[in-house]
Structure formats: structure tokens, C-alpha cells
Structure 1
């Protein structure tokens, strides 16, 4: 179950009379407090992205128009507060004062913003108001812009004792986060303090301490900090819109010695305050224009004992997307294979991805080089420090197929499946032993790595089973006997492939497929459409061209009984689509399924399923009356807003005119006592029924439906 807090969006531009503002703003405050309380119940994640109230100078108004989550009611409240401030400053002061007894990010956001306005917080109240703000909220980045603007605007009028109190809070810094290392905490804390004091100093705020001495002490913990970074301390938290352009010009790197290239590239990279929508990445440009020189710079750094993993990732990404000469690819592979474990472990993803992208250039002449690199990567993935395990309570929320596609093990598994040797196998050839050894190596990796291998390999399960049935049975199928993250990864890959298994494989996985249909799990929910299609296809398939079905009538009935409406609805959707095929097989099968197999229990007769059964009948053309007679015992009135009815402009087969009595029978079964809940087009269909067969005017069903239509 997924819980979230949604907020109504009011775009009407309603004008509220001044006299009503105090009462209206109180109601909005209550709603805002309720939203904050609900967000806290869900873990408080929705309170982590509050927009700064004061917009940045030069910032386009349109850039702040889109407000998501709790920001929407927050800014509506702020607009009302501004309106109240214009007509009654004392009432506005009282209103903002009502937040001072509250805690949490929303209250702190508004309290901090109010410090900037003398009408809301007089000079003699600044210290008292600031004391209300907790240390956590004082250092919350969402409040930082409004806090710094308020402090810089009011600093000159503050008493010395108030200034000293604020200085102590700033120099104290934030608290250490859970599981944050000591070094990371020291550096991050120093960065934040330096940014704040230097921003305020640039706004002519005079401190009682020696800013130069304090800065030297703090820079010992944050040696990378630069004074120009303080300019962005009060950067707007508002959303900015626009295309970010990547500037990959590498002119500044062309004449630099190899040993200096990486340091210069690092200093030039990133986004400047004055060019927010331009990302500088000169090393990427060097990789594109002069990859050999970029490779030389990486090797020069290695000779100096420096491994710059961020530049290696950039280099591998760019060279893998180019058709490099085979000799250059060989050099890169050899260098990767010789990297120390500590270095190679930092670029496992990039190295595996590069290996997948270039392996066709290196095969078959340089297979031994790829083997060497494989032999380095797989043991590193098996190390405890490379493990990831999301096999616990949240495992079912993981999209194993998508995650596998972008993981080191996923890249290696794809490499196995696209190996040129495999593509040249004859129809009756088995998978080579070396291939199975490699695949088993990946499947033997721990935790999430194994699941990524399962997802990629099971995407090709039908093909692999045709190639090597015994290996699939021993190495892949045992996973489906469990109900854990490994099983979820198996099904993610299998359903992603969405191929109907050959009869021997279907027989082996059928019990697990039927069990999965019964389970109320995230895996079943994600794959309900394909799962329903697989089981329905199994029921429609005959074993050895005989009368027996791969999924028996009894098995399908039991599955439909134990499953939920979503699964039953998906199965009916497939059945409806398949009856539209040119051959008559599925039309006959659909009738037999509804007549013999569909469960008759009252608890399974739901409005949702009744709507799908009605749509199925309307899709049967000349067999419509036969299907109506078949499904009538299965129907209850439906409250579905939309049913695909034979509205006149879409009713090419003129079902209403040809079979008015059957149409009336079906409508009588699915329409409730409130015409407001009837699907669109029903009234028109009733008129067409009446016109096609006037004697039905005296039918009790028509009389009832017309009465409901006229009285609702």
C-alpha cells in the first residue's frame, strides 16, 4: 500500500474581500498545519523541498509558478498573509505570531521569513523570535535564503547582544547526521559556516569576531572551499526552468602538460552562478576530440599515485560510445585489467558498461584480454564491500529489470548473451561449457548482484530453455519455488521478455505462475497484464494437440476465484482482444470460458468486472446475443464511469439496431438506480433500442430504465 498527501490546486484567482481575510487565512493555516502533520506521519519527506519565500532578484516569475506538494498551500497562505499585511498590519502580526507556538519546517519557514519585515517582528523581538527556531531548522537549507536575507537586512539595527547570539549559532554549525563520518561532517559543517559568514560579510554585516582568523581555522577542515562560493549562499530554492546546455569546449586543456590536465579540468567543471543553465565539462570534450590525450592524462595521474575515478568514468563512457580503433580498445582493456583492486572497484559500473559496448570490436581476436578483465571484475563484485541487499521489506518495490540494465552484473550478463559465438550456434547446439560457467559465476554473486543477473538472463528464458533445457532447470528455475527478492527478480526479467513459453517450459513454471496470480504482492501487481495473458494463453493451448489444456478448466476456475478484480479484469481484456482475431478459435474459447470456467460466486460479481464483461459482449459482433445470454448470470449493476458502449458514431456493426432486445437485457443488468452514474451514451442507446423495436416500450425493463432516467 502506498500513502501520499495530495493538495488541491486553486487556479480560479478568487478575490477575497478585506474584511474576510482574517477568517479565511485562519482556515488556510489550519489546512496547512494538517498537511504538515500528515507529511510528518509519512516520514516528513514532503517537507524536505520547501521553496524559499523570497524570490531571487532577476528570477523569472514563471520559474516559480509551478509549486509541488505542500508548497502549493504554503504559498497560497503566504499570498493571503501579504494581502492582510497591506490592510491590517496588526492582524498580520498576530497571525504570524500564531506560528510561534508550533514546531516543524513549515512553522520555522514562516517565522524565519517574518524576521525580514519590521511590521511583523519589531527590533526588540528579533532575539526572542530567533530563539524559537531550533538548531535543526536554523541550518535547514530550505530556510537559508530567507534567513540570510532577513539577517542582512536587519543586522545594523540589532543590539550587540543579539548579534553575538546569532554569531554563536552560526559558528556552532549544524549537528552531525546519523552515520555521517567524522571527516565528512567536519568538512560539510565548515563549508556551511564559511558560506554564511562570508555572505553576510559581503552585505556589510559587521561581526564582533575576527572573520579572517575564523576563516583560517574553518578552512583547515574545508581546504577546497572558495570565497566565491559564498555568493550562492542565499541562492533561491525556487524551481528554475530551462534547458541546461553542456559546454564541452576543451581549449584550455589542449596545451597543458598531461600531468596537469585533470586538475585544470576539475577547476573548470561545473555550473557558475552567472551561467546557471550552462554546465562546463571540458574533459568530456577532450575525450571526444582527443581520446588518446585524455587517456594519457589518466595514466599520468596514475604514475603520480592518483586515481581520479570521476574522470575514468567520463573517459570510459565517451570512448565506449565511439567506434575506437581496436588497438586503442585493447590498450584501455589492458590498463583496466592492471588497475589495483581499490581503484577498479570504484569504477565497476563504468568498466562493465564499457566492456559490453566494445566487446564486439575485440572479439574474436582479443578474447583473452576480455577474459582477463572479466576475471578482475567478477571477484570484485563478490567482495562484501561491493554488496547491495534490498531483499527485505522494500524488495518488492524495486524494479529489478530496469535496475539490472544499468548495473555492473547486468552489463556482464548482456555481454554473455550477445557474444558472437552464441549468435553462431546452430539450432541443435547446446550452450558452450565456458558460457555456462560464466553465467553461473554471475548467479553465484551475493544478493542484489545475483538478482541483476537473474533479471537479464530470465528476460531470455524462453530462448535459453530452447538452447539448454538442463542448465535452465538447474540454474534458473529453482528461484520460482521461493517468495523472496530472487523470485521477484526472476519474474521481473521473465515478464519483461513477455514471451509465451514453449510447452515443456510452461509445464515447469505453471504451478509458480498460478501461485503468483493468487498472491497479493507487488510483483503480481506490476505484471498483472502479462501474467493474466500467460495463464489465459496456457488455458487456450492444447497439450500435444489433444483435448487436454496446458491450464485445465479447474485450474483456471480456482485461479480466478483466488485472484483479485485487477487480475480478472486483465484476463477479460486479453480475451476481448483475442476474440477480434481473424480465426474463430478464441471466439469459441471465450464463450466456453464464460460458460464453463468463469466462477459463479456472488462475491466475485463486482461492478468493475460487470463492466468488462459487458464490453466483451459488445465486441462479439454477430455472436453478441449468445454472449449476453452467457454473461447475464454474472452481472451486477456497475458504477464504472466509462464502458466502451456501441455509441452510434462508433457502432459500425449496428448492434443496437440488430439486437435491441439483447442490448436491453444487458443494460438492465448493468445499470443502477442512479442515472448520474450511468456511462456516457446510455441514454442515446435506449432511444435507439426503442426506435429499432417499438414493442419494447411495454417491456418492464425499458419502463424501469426510462423511469430512472427521468427521475434522476
Structure 2
């Protein structure tokens, strides 16, 4: 948390520890500098001047360490004289600024109000700042091991002594430090005991101060299980060396911007922190008041302060208990998944983009990581809606039954307070929006929602309805998370048969459930203003049903019962759809499919459920017509969701529904249902089936209703209504006539007038009256049958082809007879186009067809004729075909060249000449920027993927296809000249050709070594083709040889160290890292192309992904004796960087992979990689494999238990949620394989994590 916008980000754990009185402030010379007192170096210089030192000044000039300089002073002047001058130099100045010391004292006070300060300063400013402060001076230090607390200030290295003769006991010389920390060790013991009991904050020190070397180097032992407390130090930002020096000493640096020479950027925050320590209630009240504002209106550090407030139980209680509940938008601040959601449009009405991390982000949020391919969100920042260290857990409540079992998943007090606050703001649009994106909810949150609905403040009906649906959705989802209920029923049927218990389970499985989602194309932040005015703009309430399991078909004797169960499910679903937001857009598929292409495609589950009921009903009607009639009688024919359409479907089976019942039911339907377009097909087919059996009186009533026409639409003009109503009625009545159903004379007489109401009306409208209006879709079939074009006269071919080329999108077919002609008779197709070309006509559609459908194996002379025709096309047509022509050349010219090289090359040259004279933009690649899940695959315009889909790339591959060397030799002159021409293509064309050639660099180097050397200059980083060449080389199928590697080594190193004038795509960069690793292996007794020291400099300069790739290359290398001895082992020892900042969780994961493949070298590999390991989250696959015996894994946990334990102890951190799922089993296996390990600290630590 930051106390000020430009202040340091102080870890929450440190602030919480200070609030609990668990922090000791270690203060150095920097805290006294504002009062005019010198630091350790300034003190040495002052004494050298006071004493007019000579020998000891020489030590200072030689830049020896300050403790040695003081040692030289003591030898030169004696200890008493040095102490006396020190006491004089450190006299407290008048008017000293004591704000810094008071702030440190106030921050160090625990809950008991007693200060806990340790200082290596000698001055008395702390006692001046608080005259009641108790002082401890060696050797009378508090014995922490005997539970003697610090109650004041500890002068660890001595305190100013005003006596002129006695030694003051200052710890200043190397001998003094050696005695205090090594020989006698009293200072080291005190500091060690302090670190075991308190969190330590270093204030006023630099990383290289002599006291720090003695204080901390003994504490930074990774093998010390007792040291669990953290040590923090405030350090100026931007000094990487200082940051690393702190971390090497085991200290966590807290960077800050100094602001000025007085480091006000730090001290202003320290003062603000101290103010909160003096009056924590006032500070908490200020944060609660801040939380009343909209989080989007606050600065990130202010949102961070409120986030810190709710990170503790007391703070969350104050937040939830505010007189006026903070707005629900704070959910988007506390929820890490909301903050890191992908940016998107604010509204579907405009294109304004918004990034939730900018609107709701915290000041200490890391940048958004690249999206994972395929979707998914990584949340590197704080998630305050999840369990965090300090929250309670109740493992003792876990049991299989009883009262406690219900409360085993109780929310910790902090999260309970946030759930309580949620109940207060759940009527706000932001709360509804947030919940709509969260299909799972903790029972504790559900209880708060229930409480508000039942006993809380009143809610608007629309809001109350949403939350009732939400609770139903959450509970249903919790019962069947993976939607496998019907499959489970199917398995029970296989075991038990169709028992009453199975039917009850099937009934539960058939129960529909609500699903809640955010609105489609909705904003990534909560809506406001008009967008929040209506619930449907905030959330979508849908109804879902479990998928019907394949094979779940009842036997004949169970049909009636299962049909009843599905009917009840549909009735319940119909009622729920009425409550949902689906009602406005609801429709069902037709029950009378036509079988036309595109009519049927994948239905959603609701439609599939509906159609399954139809199939069950059909089976029941066939098996037991009486039961089917009984089933129909149970339907509500006025239900607009399902059963009206089902009744009409059943009525089309005249034997199931008598005419009188049919007529009464349909005449009772409301107009909105009668004229529902989605039911027109079912109604008309039912009328056709029942018409002959209907009494004349009933037919007449039906005709009258049709004549009366549909109701008027909203905003429909009177003229449009009269015309539309008449046309619809005319279409229905005429449809009956066309299907052999006679109308009454009176109705037949009125029909012409109805038809005349719209001059566009025709019988085609009547024939389509029974169109279901259902959705259609699928793949469009390209029909390339020539339809006899090859028999047509040459002059009429194109006109006839245009006439026959039709698009029947209703049947999802496109008819392209010219495509068929090209495949059957390419000469005739070409001749037809050349014929009209004489009239300067170049129909683009047919030229594209000719290029795209040219057949393999066409006669060489025809291929040459085609090539020349393409080369002579007018510019506009050539531009349109530029990608197709180059692709055509790659596919068809090599065959011509093999038959007659001269003719083939002439045709090739004619085509290339057109590209050489083209505008640069015409040679761009045919593909854009590819991505997977929003992650760009390439950014360069001359990447390999771009190259092989470009004119330049196609033309280069055309020449490549002809090179079939039998032995290493010179490059044929004809090929060399054409490669040279392609490398001069305009725009990106030359780069694309260079990329394709570079990809085959190793092949060229073997077969045509002399020519390949002449090609090497394109890899020079200042060459215009360098970027393309390196992309091609990076993605070559094989690594280049050592000789070629030596030629391009300087450029390779520069690229990998990112000092080149261009950047490679990520994949290309990673592949070149692999090439570098390969070139560090010496072959045939020769020195490696790249030394390990050079490789280390590259690894330091690259990013974490590059270092991970280098280790991945080693992990993928088979660990033969040669590879282990000459590559893997020395690479890790000599090339891998040692700095702590380069040892990450990602690199540790790859190192674990190296250990996994070590086999008999496992102990040696573990010892080698151990210094580079860091905890890694979710090492599930690795942990499974090292446990597994036999072919699937190595069984290291049994074969090498001690080494496996060492490895796991380094890789598994303290976060229980991130540990491998089988850690408990692994730990037990290790203990069984070597029981003595159960007494070791690593085994006990890992065991404790699993409990």
C-alpha cells in the first residue's frame, strides 16, 4: 500500500505485522543525517581530519573498508583517543530535527504502546525524541530467548559516552565487528533471535554499509529452518546493483523515489505511516470515508488504501459497517479477475474501448500478462475476494456428517464482512453485473443474499426476480457442475434397469435451471447511466437443461412414464422462460422438417430437449395410441412456448386428435399465437390434415378468422397494415387451395381482392406460406459440374457460364460450371478468355477461376501458353490476381521446367518481370497478423508465415523445387541468377524470398557451399534483408552447422542480446536461443562456436522466456554421456546466470524437467540445479511422474528418496493452494523408502503443508 501517490509501495504483510506489534525497526545513520550528524563514512572522514591522521588516511585513500580504516586509526592513535573524538563528533546538535526519530519510535510501538527500536547509531537522538525511552547498551541486551522483550532502544554497536577517559565500547573496527559477530558472537545471537521473533525493517541503511555485512550475511542461510521472519529495507529505486545486493543478503528491498537529497519521497510516507500508527481509528475512518466515493474517481494508490483496509478482518468489518454502504463498484477493485479482464467496448452503441485495469487497478498491480492462447485470464495482482494469509480456516469442522459438517465451509471473518456488505448493495446495477459473471457463489454469500431477500430492505421487483433466478442458478450449478446427470442416469439404468428410483433420478436430471450471464457484447466494467436503467442491459437470464445422453432411450413399456417426465420438464421450462430475458427472442424449431440443405444444424439444448419430446411422443403414438391421446389431452394448447406448437403437430396426425377438439382449441388461441410466424408451418399442416374431417361450420369459422387477418404491429402505418394483412391471409388461403383443400364459395370469392392488395403477390408467396422461418446454416457447397459448357461454341462459353453460375443460398449451394470446365478442358477455358481479351475484356471472375482450378498434369505447351497469358494481362487484372499467379507458378511451372528448362525459365522470367515492375505494396503477404486467443503469432511483415504466403515466397519456392543435386557442387547459373533477381523484388517481396531461402540455409550450405557463402551477407544486421533472413533461419527445420555458425555468430549474438536494429518475433527469438545452446557444444574435438561465457551474457540480456527456452532446449536433449559431459552439465555450471533475479518459477519448472529426464544421474542433477531453484506453483504433472513406477514415470521418490525430498523442498513453496495435488502421497512414499528422513526439517515442512 502507498500512503502517498509518489511514495513507496509498502507490503501489506509488513503493515499488518506492524499493526500487531510484530515489527522491530533497525535504524542506521540515514535517520540522523537530516539532523546534521555524519554517516559511517562521514564519521571516518571527520575523525581523520580531527586527528590529522596519516597512516589511517592512507587506508582511506586506498578505499579499504571503513571498519579497516577505523582499525588503522585505533592502531595509530589508540582506542581511547578515537572514542573521545567520536563522542565529540556525535554530540547532539541544538535544534536537531527529531521528526524522523519520532516517526520511527511511533511506528515501532506495539499494541502495548512500548517502542522497539534497534540502532547501530551511537548518537542520542532517539532519547532526545522521547525522553522516557529506555536504553539498552551492550553487554546488557534483552535476552529474547528468555522472553525478555525490547522496551525501548537498543544501541547494538554502542552509545555515545561523555566520559573523556574510559573506552566507550563502540563497534567500529574490524576487530570490534569480529568480536561482536564472530568470536564472542553476542551481537549475532541477538540479531538472530530478533529475526526469529520479529519482522525487521531496515531504515537509514545502504546495502553496502559495513554493519549490514556483519548483520545480515549470517542470516541469509537457506538451510536455516528457524528463520521465518522477513527483513525489509527501504532502498532508492533505479539502482539494480543495490537491489541485487539487498536480495543477496536475504533482504526484501522496498524501492522508493528519493525526490530530493533529503529523500523526502521516503520520509513523507514514513511520516504519514507514523500518523496512522498514532491514531489507527482515525485512519480507518478516513479510509471508510474514502470508500464512499466511486472507485473509478480515485487514484490507484487511493484504491490501494481501501483494498488494504479490507485485507484485514477489522478493516473489512469497518468497511461493511459504514453508515452508508460503499458502492458496489468496489467489487471490481477487490476482484482480481474483474480488474484483469480483457479490455473491451463500453457499449455496443459506440467503439470506445475501456481497460478495467485502468479504471479499477491498484497502484501495486503488475502489468496485465499476455492473454493465454485459447483464452483464460492470469491474475498476477491481489485478489481480495479469495482466501489470503491471515484468514481463518476450521479444519476441525471437516467431518462426514453431523451439525459441524454444514459449517465446514464457513467463510473467514474478513470474507464474511465483505459478503455482508454485498448483501447491502446487491440492488445496485454493479452488484448484479458482477454476479452475472460469477456462476459459482460461496454458501456464505448465498446466505447473505437470502437474508436480504427475506428480511432486508425492500428491493425493486425486477431486482428481486433477478436474485431469485440467480440463487436458483447457483444451486442448480453446484449440484451438477459438469452437466453429466443424464449420463449418470444412463449408467444406473445399465446396472439397475428402469426402477422407480431411476425414474426419480431422471426427473431430477430433467429439471431445467436458470443460467445467468452478462449481456452479449457488454462492457468489461459495470454499466452506468442508460445502460444500467434496465436489467436486460446488465444481465441475461437464460434457461438451460441437461444434455440428453446418447442411448438414453426408454423401452416401450416405459414410454408413457418418461414422456410424462419430459412433459413436466417442458412445462417448468416454459414457466421459467417467462421469467427470463429469453422470452423476447424465444422460438422453437419446426416439428415438420423439410430435409432441405441447411435447415438442420446444431440446435441448442432447449431445442434439442423439445425435439426429444417430439420423438418420444412419436414413439408413444406408434406403440400405444390411446396413451398418446391421453398425453395430448394434458397439453395446454394456448402455451406459446412449447405446447401450442406440439398440439398442432399432434393434430396433423388425425387419428390422435379429433376434428372437433382441434377446431375448438385453435379457435380459442389468441391472435398473437395464431399468427405467430414461428408456428405457421405447424398450423397449416394441421389444417391440411384435419380439413376434410372438419364440419363445414367449423371450416367456415376458421376461414373467417384467416380473413380477419393478423393484428397490427407497433409503429406500422395503416397502408402497410392493410397491405400486409391481406397478403398474409391470401397466402394462407391460397396455400390450402394449392394443397387440395377447397374453400367455401364466399371465401373463394374474396380471395382475388386479397391477392390484389399487394401487386407483388404471386403463388410463390402462397407456396412459401408454410416456411418455418427457422434458422438455417451450414457450409456452402461449391458445385463445379460443367453442365455441358465443354460442348458449347467457344464464343458463347463465357455468357453461358455467367448464366449458369447461380447462388442458391437457401439450399447452401453455389453453382460454378466454369470451374468444372477448367478442370475438364483447360485449353477451351483459356481459349474462351483469350477470345474476349481481343476486345479488351477481362472478366475477373473467370480469370480467378482459371488460375485457382488449373488441373495438375496439364500438357507442358498449354502450361507455357497459360504462363505467357498471365504475364501479358493488363495491370489491373494482374494486380487482382497477383497472389494467385505466384501460387500458380509454384504449382505448375516446375513440371514445365523439367520438360523444357529453357521454355520454362522464359515463362517464369516473364511472370517475375511483372512483379519486378510492380508497386511495392502489391508484394505484401496474402495473410495478415495471425493470433491465437488474442496472442499475436507474429508481428514482423517478413516472418516465415508471411513469406510462404506471398508472391516473393511462392516464386522462390518455384526455383527451389527444381534443385535436385546428387553431390555437393556449384549452384547452377540459371538458379543463382533467378535467386538474385528475386532478392531485388520491390517492397516486402525481396524479404519474403530471402526468408524462404534462409530457411533452407543448411541445405544450401551442404550442396552449394560456395554460393551459400555469397548469400551470407544478407545476415549482416545492416542489410535490408536481414530481418527476413533471420526469421527464415530461425524457423529452419535443422540447426546450421558449425562453419556457418562461425560466419554469422556476431550477428546472432547481437540479435539475442537485443542490440540489433530490428526485433524478431517471439517464436523466432526462442528458436534462435535454441540455436545458441546448440552452438555451445563442441564437435569433432573442435572448440564450440559460442563459448559458455558468451552464452551467459546472452542469457542475462534476454528475457525470462528466452532463458526458459534455453533450459527447455537442455531438457529436450537426450542425456547421453556425451551430451551430459559436454553440453548439459557445463552449460548449467558455466553459462547459466547466477544472479537471483534470473532464477524464477518458470526457469525452475524447466530445471525440474531436466531432473525428470536424468534417470541414473538424478542425484547429480539435483545437486547441480539446486542453487537455481525457486518455488513453483502447481507442479502436478512433474510430481506425478517422479512418483510413478515403470514406463510412465521414473519412480525417483522410491529410488532416490533423499534427493527427491531435497528437490521437492526447493520447488514447493508455502502456499497450500499451489502445492502438487499428490504431495501427501509423495511425502509418505519418501518416508517409507527412507524412514530416517521423517526426522528431517524438509520432510516435516512438506508434511505440514499436506495437513
Establish whether TM, by shorter chain, passes 0.5.
Answer: yes
Counterpart in 2 of 1:46?
A: none
Aligned partners of 2:868, 2:862: CA distance in 1, in Å?
10
Counterpart in 2 of 1:451?
A: 991
**What are the residue-to-residue correspondences of 1:179-578 with 2, within 5 Å?**
240-242=777-779, 244-276=780-812, 278-319=813-854, 321-363=855-897, 366-381=900-915, 382-384=917-919, 387-388=922-923, 396=939, 398=941, 400-419=943-962, 422-424=963-965, 426-427=967-968, 429-468=969-1008, 471-472=1011-1012, 475=1015, 477-482=1017-1022, 486-519=1025-1058, 523-542=1064-1083, 545-546=1085-1086, 548-578=1087-1117
Q: 1:23 to 1:677 in 2, by over 3 A?
A: closer
**1:551 alignment partner, SS class:** coil
Q: TM-score, normalised by structure 2?
A: 0.39
8 Å Cα contact 1:253/1:264 also seen in 2? yes
8 Å Cα contact 2:783/2:816 also seen in 1? yes
8 Å Cα contact 1:155/1:163 also seen in 2? no
1:631 matched to 2:1166: no
8 Å Cα contact 1:517/1:563 also seen in 2? yes
1:601 matched to 2:1135: no
User: Which of structures 1 and 2 has the bigger CA Rg?
Assistant: 2
State the Cα deviation string for residues 20-53 of structure 1 (Å, max 9, x = none): 435589999994388346799xxxxxxxxxxx96
Computed over aligned residues only, the root mean square deviation of the Cα atoms, in angstroms, reads 4.6
Q: 1:334 to 1:564 in 2, by over 3 A?
A: closer
Counterpart in 1 of 2:1187?
A: 647
Aligned partners of 1:160, 1:239: CA distance in 2, in Å?
30
1:668 matched to 2:1220: no
Q: 1:666 to 1:361 in 2, by over 3 A?
A: closer
Farther off after superposition, 18-27 or 606-615: 18-27
1:696 matched to 2:1209: no
8 Å Cα contact 1:538/1:551 also seen in 2? yes
Counterpart in 2 of 1:592?
A: 1130
**What are the residue-to-residue correspondences of 1:12-161 with 2, within 5 Å?**
20-22=464-466, 31-32=518-519, 35-36=522-523, 62-63=601-602, 65=604, 158=715, 160=717
Aligned partners of 2:886, 2:879: CA distance in 1, in Å?
11
Where do 5+ consecutive residues of structure 2 fail to align?
A: 1-368, 378-435, 441-449, 454-460, 472-514, 528-583, 606-639, 642-670, 674-708, 722-753, 930-935
> Offset of 1:270 from its aligned partner?
4.7
State the Cα deviation string for residues 177-206 of structure 1 (Å, max 9, x = none): xxxxxxxxxxxxxxxxxxxxxxxxxx9999
> Offset of 1:332 from its aligned partner?
2.6
Farther off after superposition, 631-640 or 386-395: 386-395
8 Å Cα contact 2:1205/2:1230 also seen in 1? yes
Counterpart in 2 of 1:81?
A: none
Q: TM-score, normalised by structure 1?
A: 0.66
8 Å Cα contact 2:897/2:905 also seen in 1? no
> Offset of 1:472 from its aligned partner?
4.3
Where do 5+ consecutive residues of structure 1 fail to align?
A: 41-51, 67-84, 87-116, 120-151, 165-202, 212-226
8 Å Cα contact 2:437/2:516 also seen in 1? no
> Offset of 1:489 from its aligned partner?
2.5
8 Å Cα contact 2:871/2:910 also seen in 1? yes
Q: 1:516 to 1:656 in 2, by over 3 A?
A: same
**1:545 alignment partner, SS class:** coil
**1:423 alignment partner, SS class:** coil
> Offset of 1:637 from its aligned partner?
1.5
> Offset of 1:161 from its aligned partner?
10
Counterpart in 2 of 1:48?
A: none
> Offset of 1:267 from its aligned partner?
3.2
Q: 1:619 to 1:630 in 2, by over 3 A?
A: same
8 Å Cα contact 1:611/1:638 also seen in 2? yes
Q: Could you say which structure has the higher helix fraction?
A: 1
**Relative contact order, higher structure (CA 8 A, sep 6+):** 1
Q: How many residues align?
A: 550
Farther off after superposition, 591-600 or 360-369: 360-369
State the Cα deviation string for residues 42-72 of structure 1 (Å, max 9, x = none): xxxxxxxxxx968798776854649xxxxxx
